[in-house]
Structure 1
Amino acid sequence: MVRFTMSVRCAHCFYVVQHPWLAAFGYVKVGYTRNPWRRLNTVSFTTCFTPEWSYFSVFECEGIKEAFLLEQAVLYVFEDVRVSQRELIKCDPQPVVDVARRICDKLNLNALLKAEPEYHLNTNGSLSPTGSQTDKSVGQTVEELQSSTCILRGHVEKLKELRDSMRDDGFFSSYLGSSGMQQEESKDNITAEESECVFSDEEGVDALTDEEVEGELDYDFEDLAAPDEAYTITALRPYQAEAVDRCLAELERSGAALCQMACRCGKTPVAFKIIQHYIEKVSPIAVLFLVPSLGLLRQTVKKLYGYGLRRVNFLLIGSCAETVMLDDGYALTMTTDAETIKNTISSSTSQLVVISTYHSSHIVCTMTGFNLAVFDECHRVCGSATPTNFNSVLLHSPCKRKLFLTATPAYNTPLRMDQVNLFGNIAYRYYLREGIDAGYVNPFSLRIILGEGMEDMNPYFFEAMKLVDKMIVYCGSIKHATELKVRLGEPPPGDVKPFVVLLAHSKMPSAVVSDVLRKFTVHKRCILLNVRLFQEGIEIPDLNAVFFAAPRRSPRDIVQSICRPLNKMDGKPSSYVFLPATIDKKLPADHPVNLEKFSELVPFTDALMDEDPVFFEYLIDPQKVSYDIDVVGVRSLELSSGKIRKFVLPALRRGVRYTNQGRDRLHRATSLPWKAAFGELKRIVLECNRYPKNNDAWVIGERSISMMMFLKFVRKGYQQYLDGKTSSLQMYQIR
């Protein structure tokens, strides 16, 4: 029952929360938590929403199981108006609270109801409630709750009676209308941010980002690759061999090494050689290899086996029952049985390679005996600073050596990859531009499509489809993508060949998404509108363009998305990256109003500069350095190519280079492309046989960089490294 006179001394809560964006569509969110102080500040709530979440009501329960039971009971009763597989209910908040109170009475649950409570930190800054349960790992607690599939057993009849009485009273139809709730319609009417970021609220996924949740889905994309694809390796590419040497040295020096290598450049062969090194050096040995998805788990074991790890035992930890077939008829199955996993690892007397998804890795997070742990796509573990299934090995494993692999480190997340105590130093870095110049990555053309507004995106798409045949469009939300699809139902202009329009988003069942992608590969000309899918880990052989139809702020998302069409194939033309922008054609291109509009491209240009130093040099001095960039105006703008070259492109460069206060964002020591700047410093030392003087300058564009100041910057960082302090330089720069 709900009591109002006594306070249950705990923080295990069932909650009803609201946000203006959800309220606009008539939704509330429910869930349970053991930590109401920080629940609304976790990444899953803040990544895509404004900070306007608030508790409408909270039921403080006696324990986490009671809170979980109350959540499940509420969702059961409200199933007619619940969004499938989400803790979202199409209802006003007060009726949800009233029903929750009735459920407490029916199930004899003791809870303290608080209306619109505000939770604050303890005076010592602690976020967690006291009590023995706070010492248990999140993964263990989640396992216990999630394994309680029968938690409603014994209560179903009471709950069914309550639900049926509400149906008879017409309660649900008052929110849905006489026709009832159409599931697909309900999905697409949810706000953009909800559809991408509000996921299942078990404690174990409290702080999972949308990327991490996507990583758990098992989209069957393997059959899109060439059938019977053989994973073999004869020799490492030169940069891969250098990466192996640098990472091994750093692993032996500090026990942790980060290998940052651009997409499409082959990080798995580097990991294979490092694993092979330790297998040959140490016996017996156990290696842990972590991946973000079941598909990558299957792909990784096939690659490692094909590359040459034949005389080792494999253990696959994942939730898929399908058999993984390797060469020579070798078959492997996955397991998540903790006892089987523990016994296999502890009793191993030979070389053992354990490959696990991050989602299941909590099973082994405290096991000893691993000589090496490899974190593939390691930016996926950064979504929360508190323990989750994804970061359990990072935070708790006593593993002797940890190798981190990524193309896109995460620096603006709760766990940052510049935390050297967790991730080590960047032992080796290989830029996207280096992969393109060496012929391993397909080159791309950057096209900025200019229009007067983005209310109607069709003119932008039509301009892009004049240049390409197949394009993925990254949309802001399911609602946004659906609206674009409806608009694209109109015929294209006569100078644009017809094309098919498809839609895929992260709330579709995996089989549906896989089918959409197959259709995309079959059609000759096609646009695929996409929401939070196909950002990484997927190769579509004949894809040759991406289009950003909504603003992006995450450099990681931007770079991963840019790289989708850059897989190298014989005869494949240059790929395209399309960025839409707006201009007020009544004003000069370099008018402050237009410069402000162009500054919307800054997140894209910053992300690209970090991977492509040539783009940096182009922005500084386009007369000296060429770059495959151009502006295309939509038909209604009537922009001539001469006007674009003379006025628009210079204004665009200025808009992304200078701040609103007119400060040059690029002429800073930390912004300079490292290899080019250090190369100039090295040239002065070797050719002039001295260090830079005050009058030594590196001229870039119309500005000069003092090499003396750059030398001081480098010296300071190196001295910090020698003194054992946090250095402004990364290990790949020091070595």
Structure 2
Amino acid sequence: MSFELFQVPEEEDCMATIQDVLYQYHNIYADGQELTVETGANRLKGNWFELLCLWFFKHDPLYRQRFSEVWMWSDWPGRGGRPDTGIDLVASVRDGGLCAIQCKFFEPGHSVQKADIDSFLALSGQEGFTERLIVSVADDWSSNAENAIRNQQIPCTRLTLEDLDASRLDWGAFDLEHIGTVAYRPAKTLRPDQERALKAVMEGFQRHDRGKLIMACGTGKTFTALKIAEQLAGAGKTVLFLVPSISLLNQTLLAWNADSSIPLTSFAVCSDTTVGRRQRTDEDMKPTDLATPPTTNAADLLRIWRLPSFAETVSSSMTVVFSTYQSIAVLTKAQEMGFPDFDLIICDEAHRTTGVTLTGTDESNFVRVHQNKFIRGAKRLYMTATPRIFSASATTRAQEVGAVLCDMNDPSLYGPEFHRLSFSEAVRLDLLSDYKVMVLIVDQRYVSDAVTQIMAEGELKLDDAVKIVGCWKGLAKELSMTNLTDRGLDPEPMRTAVAFSSSIKNSKQFRDNFPRVIEEFKRQAGPEAKSSLNCEVRHVDGTDNICKRNALLEWLKSAPEEIRANERENVPQCRILSNARCLSEGVDIPALDAILFLNPRKSKVDVVQSVGRVMRKSPGKKFGYVIIPVMIPSNVAPEDALDRNNNFKVVWEVLQALRAHDDQFNAEVNSLDLNEGSDKVIVDVIGLPEPVDGGIDIPFPPEAWQEGVYAGIVKRCGDRQYWDQWARDMAAVADAHTTRLKSLLEQEDFAVKNAFETFLAGLRENINNNVSHEDALDMLAQHLITKPIFDAIFGFYRFSEQNPVSQAMEQMMKALESCGLESETEALANFYESVKGRIAVINNDAGRQKVIKDLYETFFKSAFPRTAERLGIVYTPIEVVDFILRSADWALRSELACPEGLSSPDVHILDPFTGTGTFLVRLLQLGLIAPEALAR
């Protein structure tokens, strides 16, 4: 992070950040306070920064707990007259050790060299110091400097500006003249949705010792977990917080210490990160960048725990051990040696604790967390945005080979689901931005001519060039078939994007090839491309040190303001940060406009975690975009390309992943065949020539490709049993309602019995004298279930308020109000929200009519098989209904001398068994009755 990018906020009520303060003091000392010697100005800046760091270490909650005292080097009682040759501050650590601290205030753009820290490392290597810490404002560290602070006998950690900025301190309160003055930013409070999550988890733990908390990415799981720990454990108790990576450990450590309402005693446990499967050390930060030195073995953890200085604080603070899953063996050993049982174990990113272990082999550290024989704890909370569930076939295969399968649907391992905040619910509550998926199909001929020379150099594949052009067009929102305004989308080009490749090598190639391809493409395209989007691409991966990674993230985060300030000649600018997978988990970039998927992603969890990055809210942001560019071959039929071309694999995999974790997107995909296009999945074709009147026909026009891709999505990503399963869900609920109604009528409540007898008599009088007691009960249950559904389908027309039979039902329902029947409906609140969501994605009357027909057919067969069999309930396919209606119209015209067919004045249409209304609806939709005949 470069502080020169920031300015002191003008608003009086705005909390100052560390960047604001650095910017201010950098400008003050830029003149050297009237000094003419540059080194003099640097010395003043260095002294000021040392005092700022002293103030930070004395007052920050985390370091106030770690350090009992902090001195300037010149004030340290143990200095012994030694000159300042690199150590700026000295801190007394509560475990009895001493920490040497260097505060490096470098000029922006300075690259830290080994020579810059040699004297500090040499002096702090002398007897007495047990820890080293470097505070650096520099983004760039040379490899020699980086290696110098690793694997030191006296451990050395490094603090970045991001670590400082995570503090709860109000940096604007720092005063060089009054260094004892301190202020903190206001404490965070739970939002209503987080309050509901807290309440649900606390209630769940009253009945269970483990359970799941499912919350969408970016909705505050970490803060919610803190408040759960404070309430469930609290002062004097011990909590274990497990994460899959060192970077997440550091984020959580800083966040909990900044936001806790009670004092924390924090430990960071981080042993060999290469232990266990699924390691991603190439994408993780190094232990040297933890905000507090990690404990790497059980003996050290236990020794520190037993120190009198820590024993004094344990009763008044909550002890929290932050650990990676890979370090579970350290915790197991520590508990064997006497470390206490945990009162609460929180498993973050709990989808990582699933998987298969073969019988007779050692369990993965990620799996051992489930068992008390490895980690003893009273309660376990599994948190994730993306629960991982295995298919029935996977379970069967695991059983066949004698393997143990850890599946998040297994209550013996994970407990019940205490609370869920889905992606769609988070969007509805305005906690997240909704997202759109852009599938951009690019004809290879459209690009090939422009990149012939680059390809001849052997450094570029045509497929990669086509994807680059597709991404460029998508980011610019230059679509050929999609009217963005009609879709309610903002036509302004995107400013920020993250690109995901399958490997670090591919990511670097994307960075290197993007400007060359676009420059050559624009040159060949001529004037019409000159005003298009200009993009700058950078690459990041796990081999970059944390300072560089933070700088690249800051470069992306600050893009919207900087770009708008620097745009020239009305040419929009966009910044793209390319990576393989180090930006998919735990990275927060609220202003991110788009993510680009350049290669297939087999991990559904990785896809959803990546999409979670683009759903963060930021001012002025309407949607996040998921862009998937695909190259199509020339002169190949869409159906052939979709069946045989692996280029579409990335589309199917990304959409399948989103469907598996986003119920609203699942409804969208499963309604594509009912809808007229889609506002959620935008399919656009780039580069195919448009048909010209009187010219040569295009064999496969863009519309054919668009329709083909939508059909392919339904075929490969949809669930053919989706609406059937929904009807079966309703059937199960209806059965419960019938049982409840029978129970109510069997009780000695004469008012209810009399109301029911009146209701039954009315049915027999108006419908049929043979309507039985059971028939009436079934009708009430059906009404209770279907009323909210019809209200959802016909939200503009209150069906149940206008229908005479429904009105009679409502009178009976009012008589049952005092019996607590509404509690049955309250239990269905989430179900009916799901119904509304599923129905909402259908954008035409024909689709709604088909849902009603299919729903009722399956509903009655599943919920009321006796009724369906007795009444012979069979639903005529819409195609057959259309044939019958058209045949009747033809017969009237040709055989019965009615030239206007069904619109003839002498023709009267009666439908005594309307059912779902399919015949009447299709009669109107087919236009077989003239508009002027409708009134008659």
State the TM-score, normalizing by the size of structure 1.
0.57
Equivalence for 1:145: none
Equivalence for 1:186: none
Equivalence for 1:535: 584
Q: 2:321 aligns with which of 348, 354, 360?
A: 354
Contact kept in structure 2, 1:233 and 1:307, CA below 8 Å: yes
1:308-362 CA distances to partner (integer Å, 9 max, x unpaired)? 34244333324746784xxxxxxx6543342232245576555422222323332
Amino acid across the alignment from 1:355: F
How much does 1:428 deviate? 1.8
- Tell whether 2:392 aligns with 1:340: no
- Tell whether 2:418 aligns with 1:427: yes
Equivalence for 2:162: 222
C-alpha change, 1:238 and 1:513, in structure 2 (3 Å) is: closer
Unaligned runs of 5+ in 2: 1-156, 171-183, 272-286, 395-404, 445-462, 478-493, 523-529, 564-573, 693-697, 742-777, 794-838, 840-846, 866-936
In the aligned structure 2, how far is the partner of 1:436 from the partner of 1:300? 24
1:624-667 CA distances to partner (integer Å, 9 max, x unpaired)? 89633322322356599x9999544443232122259xxx6242
Q: Give the match's secondary structure for 1:418.
A: coil
Amino acid across the alignment from 1:611: H
1:293-442 matches, cutoff 5 A: 293-318=245-270, 320=287, 324=291, 334-345=294-305, 349=315, 351-365=318-332, 367=335, 368-382=340-354, 385=357, 386-395=362-371, 396-411=374-389, 415-442=406-433
Equivalence for 1:667: 721
Q: 1:567 aligns with which of 616, 622, 626?
A: 616
Q: 1:286 aligns with which of 221, 235, 238?
A: 238
Contact kept in structure 2, 1:474 and 1:530, CA below 8 Å: yes
- Tell whether 2:666 aligns with 1:616: yes
Equivalence for 1:658: 715
In the aligned structure 1, how far is the partner of 2:531 from the partner of 2:735? 52
How much does 1:263 deviate? 0.3
Equivalence for 1:485: 511
Amino acid across the alignment from 1:429: R
In the aligned structure 2, how far is the partner of 1:531 from the partner of 1:221? 25
1:221-255 CA distances to partner (integer Å, 9 max, x unpaired)? 93697896888655433332232233233333231
Q: Give the match's secondary structure for 1:627.
A: coil
Contact kept in structure 2, 1:292 and 1:380, CA below 8 Å: yes
* Comparing 498-507 and 545-554, the one that deviates more: 498-507
Which of structures 1 and 2 has the bigger CA Rg? 2
C-alpha change, 1:562 and 1:372, in structure 2 (3 Å) is: same
Equivalence for 1:633: 685
C-alpha change, 1:671 and 1:512, in structure 2 (3 Å) is: farther
Contact kept in structure 2, 1:257 and 1:404, CA below 8 Å: yes
- Tell whether 2:197 aligns with 1:243: yes
* Comparing 537-546 and 299-308, the one that deviates more: 299-308
1:98-247 matches, cutoff 5 A: 222=162, 235-247=189-201
Query: How many pairs align?
Result: 483
How much does 1:519 deviate? 3.8
Contact kept in structure 1, 2:734 and 2:863, CA below 8 Å: no
CA RMSD of aligned residues (A): 4.3
How much does 1:277 deviate? 2.0
Contact kept in structure 1, 2:326 and 2:366, CA below 8 Å: yes
In the aligned structure 1, how far is the partner of 2:437 from the partner of 2:785? 38
Q: Give the match's secondary structure for 1:571.
A: coil
Amino acid across the alignment from 1:569: S
Amino acid across the alignment from 2:667: E
- Tell whether 2:447 aligns with 1:471: no
Amino acid across the alignment from 1:244: L
How much does 1:548 deviate? 0.2
In the aligned structure 2, how far is the partner of 1:495 from the partner of 1:656? 34
* Comparing 339-348 and 284-293, the one that deviates more: 339-348
Amino acid across the alignment from 1:376: D
Amino acid across the alignment from 1:689: L
Equivalence for 1:200: none
Equivalence for 1:19: none
Contact kept in structure 2, 1:618 and 1:624, CA below 8 Å: no
Contact kept in structure 2, 1:219 and 1:511, CA below 8 Å: no
In the aligned structure 2, how far is the partner of 1:459 from the partner of 1:648? 18
1:91-112 CA distances to partner (integer Å, 9 max, x unpaired)? xxxxxxxxxxxxxxxxxxxxxx
Amino acid across the alignment from 1:427: F
C-alpha change, 1:509 and 1:226, in structure 2 (3 Å) is: closer
- Tell whether 2:605 aligns with 1:605: no
Amino acid across the alignment from 1:375: C
Q: Give the match's secondary structure for 2:614.
A: coil
Amino acid across the alignment from 2:780: N
Equivalence for 2:225: 271
C-alpha change, 1:301 and 1:482, in structure 2 (3 Å) is: closer
In the aligned structure 2, how far is the partner of 1:495 from the partner of 1:654? 35
Report the identity percentage: 22
Contact kept in structure 2, 1:260 and 1:405, CA below 8 Å: yes
Contact kept in structure 2, 1:301 and 1:355, CA below 8 Å: yes
How much does 1:670 deviate? 9.2
1:170-201 CA distances to partner (integer Å, 9 max, x unpaired)? xxxxxxxxxxxxxxxxxxxxxxxxxxxxxxxx
Contact kept in structure 1, 2:652 and 2:716, CA below 8 Å: no
1:391-415 CA distances to partner (integer Å, 9 max, x unpaired)? 4433411212100111112335964
In the aligned structure 1, how far is the partner of 2:728 from the partner of 2:328? 36
In the aligned structure 2, how far is the partner of 1:420 from the partner of 1:317? 28
Q: Give the match's secondary structure for 1:394.
A: coil
Amino acid across the alignment from 2:715: Y
C-alpha change, 1:655 and 1:588, in structure 2 (3 Å) is: same
How much does 1:518 deviate? 3.8
In the aligned structure 2, how far is the partner of 1:670 from the partner of 1:273? 41
Amino acid across the alignment from 2:407: R
Q: Give the match's secondary structure for 2:472.
A: helix
Q: Give the match's secondary structure for 1:552.
A: coil
Contact kept in structure 1, 2:434 and 2:615, CA below 8 Å: yes
How much does 1:218 deviate? 10
Q: Which has the higher contact order (CA 8 A, sep 6+)?
A: 1
Contact kept in structure 1, 2:158 and 2:288, CA below 8 Å: no
C-alpha change, 1:498 and 1:693, in structure 2 (3 Å) is: closer
Contact kept in structure 2, 1:218 and 1:295, CA below 8 Å: no
- Tell whether 2:677 aligns with 1:586: no
In the aligned structure 2, how far is the partner of 1:556 from the partner of 1:264? 15
In the aligned structure 1, how far is the partner of 2:215 from the partner of 2:511? 36
Q: Give the match's secondary structure for 1:444.
A: strand
C-alpha change, 1:628 and 1:657, in structure 2 (3 Å) is: closer
In the aligned structure 2, how far is the partner of 1:226 from the partner of 1:287? 22
Q: Give the match's secondary structure for 1:487.
A: helix
C-alpha change, 1:515 and 1:237, in structure 2 (3 Å) is: closer
How much does 1:557 deviate? 0.7
C-alpha change, 1:629 and 1:498, in structure 2 (3 Å) is: same
Structure number with higher helix proportion: 2
Q: Give the match's secondary structure for 1:354.
A: strand
- Tell whether 2:781 aligns with 1:690: yes
In the aligned structure 2, how far is the partner of 1:266 from the partner of 1:674? 34
Q: Give the match's secondary structure for 2:534.
A: coil
1:512-523 matches, cutoff 5 A: 512-521=548-557
